[in-house]
Amino acid sequence: MIKNKKTNRNLAVEVKNVTKTYMLRHEKPTLIESLLYRSKNEKHVALKDISFSIFKGDRLGIIGSNGSGKTTLLKLLAGITKQQKGNIKMNGRVVSLIDLSAGFHPDLTGEENIFLNGLVIGMNKDEIESKKKSIVKFADIGKFIDAPLYTYSTGMQLRLGFSIAVHSDPDILLLDEGFAFGDEDFREKANKKISEYRRKKKTLIIVSHWLFELERNCNKILWLERGEIIEYGNKGLLNKYRKSFE
C-alpha cells in the first residue's frame, strides 16, 4: 500500500480508460432544425479506452499516422478539451506549445502581449512582471518591445512566443510537431532549452512525425493507430514503426 503511494507520487501523467468521441456533422446544425426534428448523430471515436502513465522526468514521444488520435490526445493532456469517459491526472504545471502565438493581439505592443500570452499559458501577473526582462532578452527583439505586434516579422513573433513559454517554468511541457522554427541561431537556443529541461528532469511530451527529433529527445514512445495504443515502450519502438512502412 505504502509502496503504491510512493510510485504514484512519481507519476507525472496518469491516463486511465480515456475515451474521446466527436459528433460527426455533415452540415452546420441550426437551432431551428434541432427543435423541429431529432437528427441522427453519428459519432466518431477519436480515442478508444486509452490508458498509460509516465513518470516525472520521462520524455514521451507520441507517434502514429494521420488521424490516429495524436493531436486529440495532446489536446486532452493540455486541457483544451475534455474526454467523455475516463480520467486524466497531470501532476504539476502543464504548458502546451501547440501554438506559440495563440494569445497574441496584433494591435498591442510586445510588452502588453507578453502579459497577455503569459496569462494564456498559465503564469500570473507578478510572475510575468518578474520575468519580463529575461523574456525580452531571450527573444532578442530589442527595441521592438514597445512597438505593436503587427510590425514584427514572423520570426520575431515566434521567438517572443517561445521565450514566454519557456519562461513559464513548466513541470510538464507539451510540444506539437514542428517546433523547430526560426533561424539557425534560434533553433540552437531552443534545443539548448530543451536539453536543459532534460537535465532538470522535467517531463516532456512531444507529438511529431519527425522521428529523428524523437530519437534525440525521447526515452519513451507511445504508438497510436486509429485511436488505440498499438504499443508503448522505449526508443526501440521507433525502428519497428519505421519498418511498418517498408
Partner 1 sequence: MIFLFTLLYQKTAVQSFYSRWYSTVMFSYFSRYWFDFIWVMTLKEIKARYKRVLLGFLWAILNPVLQMLVIGFLFQFFIPVKIDNYFYFLFAGLLPWNFFSYTFSKCTPLMLNERALIQKAKFPREALVLSIVFSNLFHLLISLGLFIFLSLFMGYLSIFKIVILFLAVFWLVFFTIGISLLLSTLFVRYRDIKFIVQAVIPLWFYATPIIYTKSLLPNWIANLLQYNPMTGIIELFQFIFTNNCSAVSLESVIPGIIISFIVTVIGVYLFIKESQYFDDWL
Pick between residue 76 and residue 221 the one whose CB is nearest to partner 1.
76
- Residue 190 C-beta: closest distance to partner 1, Å: 19
Q: Is 116 in the site for partner 1 (CB under 8 A)?
A: yes
Q: Is 81 in the site for partner 1 (CB under 8 A)?
A: yes
SS3 category, 56: coil
- Residue 115 C-beta: closest distance to partner 1, Å: 5
Q: Is 36 in the site for partner 1 (CB under 8 A)?
A: no
Taking the CA of residue 39 as centre, how many other CA atoms within 13 Å lie in the half-sphere pointing to its CB?
17
What's the angle, vertex CA 152, arms to CA 154 and CA 127, rounded to 5?
A: 95
Q: Is 171 in the site for partner 1 (CB under 8 A)?
A: no
Q: Which of 50, 58, 96, 173 binds partner 1 (CB under 8 A)?
A: 96
Q: Is 98 in the site for partner 1 (CB under 8 A)?
A: yes
Pick between residue 126 and residue 246 the one whose CB is nearest to partner 1.
126
Cα–Cα separations (whole angstroms), residue 226 to 73, 86, 164, 243: 12, 18, 34, 18
Helix (H) or strand (E) holding 196: helix 184-199
Q: Which of 99, 183, 188, 215 binds partner 1 (CB under 8 A)?
A: 99
Q: Is 180 in the site for partner 1 (CB under 8 A)?
A: no
Q: Which of 112, 140, 177, 231 binds partner 1 (CB under 8 A)?
A: 112
Name the nearest CA neighbour of 188 among 233, 146, 140: 140
Q: Is 124 in the site for partner 1 (CB under 8 A)?
A: yes
Asked if 17 contacts 85 with a C-beta cutoff of 8 angstroms, the reply is: yes
Q: Which residues pair with 54 in a beta bridge?
A: 13
Q: Is 115 in the site for partner 1 (CB under 8 A)?
A: yes
Q: Which of 30, 133, 185, 199 binds partner 1 (CB under 8 A)?
A: 30
Q: Which residues pair with 29 in a beta bridge?
A: none
Q: Which of 57, 67, 86, 122 binds partner 1 (CB under 8 A)?
A: 122
Name the nearest CA neighbour of 54 among 90, 18, 82, 78: 90
Name the nearest CA neighbour of 76 among 8, 20, 14: 20
Number of residues located near partner 1, criterion CB under 8 A: 33
The set of cell numbers assigned to 245 is 512502412
- Residue 35 C-beta: closest distance to partner 1, Å: 9
CA–CA separation, 205 and 203 (whole Å): 7
The set of cell numbers assigned to 203 is 517531463
Q: Is 41 in the site for partner 1 (CB under 8 A)?
A: no
Q: Is 40 in the site for partner 1 (CB under 8 A)?
A: no
Question: Which residues form the interface with partner 1 (CB under 8 A)?
Answer: 22-23, 28-32, 34, 75, 78-82, 94, 96, 98-99, 102-103, 105, 107-108, 112, 115-116, 119-122, 124-125, 148
